[in-house]
Structure 1
Amino acid sequence: MNLLNKLLLTLAILALPMISLSQSAEDESPVANWQNLDLKNDDVFGISTEKAYKELLKGEKSSTVLVAVIDGGIDEEHEDLKKVMWVNPKEIPGNGIDDDKNGYVDDIHGWNFIGSAKANVHYDNLELIRLINKYNPKYASALNSTPFSESERKEFQLYKKLITDYMDKLQSAQMGLQNTTMIKKYLDEIKAKMDNENPSADDFSSYKPSNDIEGQVIKFVKPELKKRDFKKFYEELLDGIKYYDAQVKYHLNVEFDPRKDSVGDNYTDSNDRNYGNNDITGPDAEHGTHVAGIVGAVRNNDLGINGVANNVKIMAVRTVPDGDERDKDVANSIRYAVDNGAKVLNMSFGKAYSWDKKAVDEAIQYAVSKGALLVHAAGNDAKNTEKEDNFPNRLFQDSTGRTMGTASAWIEVGASSWKNNEDLVATFSNFGAKTVDVFAPGVKINSTMPGSTYKENDGTSMAAPVVSGLAALIWSYYPQFTANQIKEIIMNSVTKVDYKVKIKEDGDSKKVNLSDISVSGGVVNAYSALQLAEKMSKGSKSKLK
């Protein structure tokens, strides 16, 4: 998801679009740990976590809260995470026996629903490709004049939409791959001629292009080097090639299906739950590891970063491949997390189409009934999710799409930057007056990465774990509260702003109030949330100053 944030602006080279690797507001760099800092004291729009620990929580006792990170895998050996990884107390490691009889053998730190004893799923396609393959046999040769029943007509209209979406995405991915690859080719040639692996903007200014294409590439690169050094720019270019290559080879490939060989479950049966393996890291744990660190990386240990919550355990539930997650896996992951004690479920994933929404809805209802709080990333398409579908969501719907209820203990999170001005809302963040609850820091968030490394990432994927960490923080000091009360505290303690913020909708830039694009109209705040929690605490001796 994060690469899309860096691949938005276009220019023409040889009559083809070429991708720019940055955005205006996100090109600058905030201070370290900005998401946990305070607006008044530190001049960045963080959530005042450090202030809360210093002024409200010092010396106070707390209880451990289990947070499930339903994601693409976590490096459980990371130096800043291994001490906070959940350990299943009822399971004996490595004995090949389901000791706790929960249906999952040796699930020590969690479970992987996209793997088996044979292999793990790394890449998968988009849900729209799966749906196209589902409907192709029936509707590929159909015409608008073909007689259909009402339900078939609805499916046919969806099929046509899927095909249009597919063709647009495929063309964009193919051109993106062609152009990013071309830029790399010419940059490599220019570097070789310069005999310089890390040229500066001045070096490019002094270089005499051999042809028009080199001149255009240099014209494109030079402004980018005002925002970052060449090495960083080149890394982002390689990330762009990797992203588009995966799109073409896997995400948008109608002939690609890794499920049968890598998982081996009965995919058509959503009630089939006992499959997978205990490899919670998988082949690509970057996203999940980054998310986990934001929630609860060990605080003040002279390593890496500070997570939001200081008394938390992280359960890893591997669900999301490089591609769209599958509804069956999402539903089973939610059930697994709740059945094994998770109180907060972080879900930093989403997609535009749903294969089996009913299965996911039932799992969400189950989680709510068990007292869990679900925190979901709003998405990175700069879209209004009141108008554009984004799954999973809080709405329970029947087969006709009619809403039959909502998940009360659900928080939908948009991304904000550190800027206390009109650039507060991240340019990529989805929004919605009734569909996005709160905003939270999601731009240039430094967090854990596999191999005990660290990296900045952007996305609502980063904003959601800020809120999950906040929920766990409140719950750890106020364990008597219900999930709905934790949500109420978070929603009613946001920091509101008295100015309008910039967004883009349907291609047009506009300025709106934060209350026009979210339910709460604000950015979450740990200090205010803990103060409100104290006020709501009934009949107990005051814990907070």
Structure 2
Amino acid sequence: MLGRAGGDQSAGGTVPAFWSRILSSYSRSSQPSRSTIQPGEALKEALRPTDALNPKRRNRYADDYVLAGFNEGDRLRINLTSNRFDPFLQVINASNGKVLQQNDDISRTNTNSRINLVAEAGIEYRIRVTSYAPFATGAYNLAIRALSSAPSNPSDPGSISNFNFSYGYGLVDAAAAVAAAAGRAPFATASPLGGNAWGLDMINAPAVWNQGYTGQNVVVAVLDTGVDYNHADLRGNIWQNPGEIAGNGIDDDGNGFVDDVRGWKFVDNDSNNPMDQDGHGTHVAGIIAGLNNGVGVTGVAYNAKIMPVRVIDGRDDGSYRRFDRNVADGIRYAVDNGAHVVNLSLGNYPGDPDMTRTRAALSYARDAGVVVVMASGNERQDGARRPIQPAYYALDDLGIAVGAVNSSRRVANFSNPAGNLPLDFVVAPGVNIRSTVLRNSYASYSGTSMASPFVAGVAALMLSANPNLSPAQVEEILKATAVTQGVQA
């Protein structure tokens, strides 16, 4: 974890119906929808002029979903997002048509909708998707997750259903996640690689490769200290801007950045050279997409492309405002130039001002369908009880946060915990991870900065298997397939 977060530590079958429901859409007539949705599901649909009008909001179209698969006392979070219209969410009592709860905007700066519902016995709930403005139409995402199942001790973080204070939803499992993304039965296990590749074995990456999913056609932006794009284990996987001609001093593709043939540097003085001078970003890049060339290291998604975006390691890091601005600008650059996944192994210090520009950029990425993976921070020994920003924005469904475990599946003593409030959070290998560094060398680093790129790599594998996944679907699958067995807090 670099930037304002401080440095890392260095050291010498049948497909379950659940997934077909997550990955499919529903077709409806002009009558109100009666499709079923249950906790753990996410779907993508659209309001259309052929939909029925909402009897509770005049001149607004509406889709209804019957809530199923819950128990009395369950605490559920219902999220409705759209970048096509201002969504409005309602929970209806189906027996009498009464509106039990409704929400327009999550906050003053977030026009999406969210409802937290405590399920009661004897009520048939309908989740109604509608709009704030009259006759609005367009695509939306609806997702429901369980926050708890009537815990016997609500004050105990470990009592939250499927969510643990230290490790969130558990250890990421690439094989299970990619199989689910592809709508396939679980993959056969693969022989372990052993040695320094223990992290790849732990997340079952080789089993995914054996099925032909290696990150092909996926671009992962590494927002960091830059990337050594000349490293022998990386240069074949460095993103090239197809619309730019190198060295002609012209913004050929009209994106506002001259000669950005392989990314951009935002920290201090802007330039078209995102070369790494520190090694941190190069290490992160190797974990994601180090070449499978028989030497050095192999990345989780070894056929993905790395987009280097240098946003830290400069004088600007000493300013809250400039640090926030650089990260936000880097996210927007990555989104606008074709990244499918963004990795943020960086963050602020606990107690620093909110990263408001970065939050807005994360929302921009979300609306554009870009997956964002963020390191949770390394301040647990200093008393941290939750992720730092921007990882904590996972609470607002703006990405997924990642903590670190060691080779024994124990949460690292430095790894910031998931916290008391359920948010999108998993763990991945992050202690003594060997990867690429400067001058064609390799080194072992520790930190949540190393764990985050493992998950970014898994997201790339998922998108190589199913490029139509939304960020919400990627996150739901990562959480639902995460492993808790053997993970030690």
Same-fold call, TM cutoff 0.5: yes
Whichever structure has more helix as a proportion of its residues is 1
TM-superposed deviation, 1:5: 3.9
- Give matches, 1:155-174, under 5 Å: none
- Give matches, 1:428-443, under 5 Å: 428-433=414-419, 434-435=422-423, 437-443=425-431
AA in 2 matched with 1:71: D
Judge conservation of contact 1:349–1:461 (CA < 8 Å) in 2: yes
- Give matches, 1:281-430, under 5 Å: 281-282=275-276, 284-299=277-292, 301-321=293-313, 323=317, 326-352=323-349, 353-355=351-353, 357-382=355-380, 387=385, 390-395=388-393, 407-420=396-409, 424-430=410-416
**Alignment RMSD (CA, Å):** 2.5
Map of 2:197 onto structure 1: 33
**1:404-444 deviation digits (Å, cap 9, x = unpaired):** xx542511000001115xxx111111102435610100011
Whichever structure has more strand as a proportion of its residues is 2
User: Percent of aligned positions with the same letter in both sequences?
Assistant: 38
**1:323-382 deviation digits (Å, cap 9, x = unpaired):** 557001111111100000111100001112445632222111111000011100001112
Structure 1 moving runs of 4+ over 6 Å? none
SS in 1 for 2:195: coil
SS in 1 for 2:309: strand
Larger RCO (alpha carbons 8 Å, 6+ apart): 1
Judge conservation of contact 1:327–1:354 (CA < 8 Å) in 2: no
Judge conservation of contact 2:344–2:373 (CA < 8 Å) in 1: yes
Query: Is residue 75 of structure 1 aligned with residue 61 of structure 2?
Result: no
AA in 1 matched with 2:197: N
Q: 1:50 aligns with which of 188, 191, 206?
A: 206
Map of 1:106 onto structure 2: 259
Query: Is residue 466 of structure 1 aligned with residue 443 of structure 2?
Result: no
SS in 2 for 1:374: strand
**1:17-76 deviation digits (Å, cap 9, x = unpaired):** xxxxxxxxxxxxx82211111xxxxxxxx101113323xx14x69741010000001100
Q: 1:476 aligns with which of 454, 457, 464?
A: 464
TM-superposed deviation, 1:383: 5.7
Which consecutive residues of structure 2, in runs of 5 or more, have no partner in the other structure?
12-193
Quick one: distance in 2 between partners of 1:4 and 1:104?
31
AA in 2 matched with 1:107: D
Judge conservation of contact 2:376–2:392 (CA < 8 Å) in 1: no
AA in 2 matched with 1:372: V
TM-superposed deviation, 1:394: 4.7
Judge conservation of contact 1:327–1:359 (CA < 8 Å) in 2: yes
**1:455-504 deviation digits (Å, cap 9, x = unpaired):** 111000000000000000110111121121111111111111257x35xx
Q: 1:454 aligns with which of 438, 442, 449?
A: 442
Quick one: distance in 2 between partners of 1:287 and 1:61?
23
TM-aligned CA distance change 1:488 to 1:97, over 3 Å = same
Quick one: distance in 1 between partners of 2:305 and 2:404?
24
TM-aligned CA distance change 1:327 to 1:482, over 3 Å = same
Judge conservation of contact 1:443–1:458 (CA < 8 Å) in 2: yes
What is the TM-score when the length of structure 2 is the normalising length? 0.56
**1:242-298 deviation digits (Å, cap 9, x = unpaired):** xxxxxxxxxxxxxxxxxxxxxxxxxxxxxxxxxx1111015x240000000000011
**1:210-243 deviation digits (Å, cap 9, x = unpaired):** xxxxxxxxxxxxxxxxxxxxxxxxxxxxxxxxxx
Quick one: distance in 1 between partners of 2:446 and 2:278?
16
AA in 1 matched with 2:260: D
Map of 2:239 onto structure 1: 86
Quick one: distance in 2 between partners of 1:50 and 1:6?
26
Quick one: distance in 2 between partners of 1:36 and 1:492?
20
- Give matches, 1:176-255, under 5 Å: none
AA in 1 matched with 2:271: N
SS in 2 for 1:288: helix
Judge conservation of contact 1:66–1:342 (CA < 8 Å) in 2: yes
Quick one: distance in 2 between partners of 1:454 and 1:61?
22
What is the TM-score when the length of structure 1 is the normalising length? 0.51
SS in 2 for 1:468: helix
Judge conservation of contact 1:415–1:426 (CA < 8 Å) in 2: yes
**1:166-224 deviation digits (Å, cap 9, x = unpaired):** xxxxxxxxxxxxxxxxxxxxxxxxxxxxxxxxxxxxxxxxxxxxxxxxxxxxxxxxxxx
AA in 2 matched with 1:48: N
Query: Is residue 279 of structure 1 aligned with residue 273 of structure 2?
Result: yes
Map of 1:23 onto structure 2: none
Quick one: distance in 1 between partners of 2:432 and 2:481?
24
Judge conservation of contact 1:5–1:428 (CA < 8 Å) in 2: no
TM-superposed deviation, 1:101: 1.2
TM-superposed deviation, 1:393: 3.7
Judge conservation of contact 1:335–1:367 (CA < 8 Å) in 2: yes
AA in 2 matched with 1:359: R
Map of 2:163 onto structure 1: none
TM-superposed deviation, 1:384: 9.4
Judge conservation of contact 1:107–1:278 (CA < 8 Å) in 2: yes
AA in 1 matched with 2:473: Q
TM-aligned CA distance change 1:5 to 1:474, over 3 Å = same
Which consecutive residues of structure 1, in runs of 5 or more, have no partner in the other structure?
8-29, 38-45, 117-275, 397-405, 503-545
AA in 2 matched with 1:79: A
SS in 2 for 1:446: strand
TM-aligned CA distance change 1:291 to 1:103, over 3 Å = same
TM-aligned CA distance change 1:498 to 1:77, over 3 Å = closer
AA in 2 matched with 1:370: A
Quick one: distance in 2 between partners of 1:439 and 1:289?
21
SS in 2 for 1:326: helix
TM-superposed deviation, 1:310: 3.0
**Number of equivalences:** 295
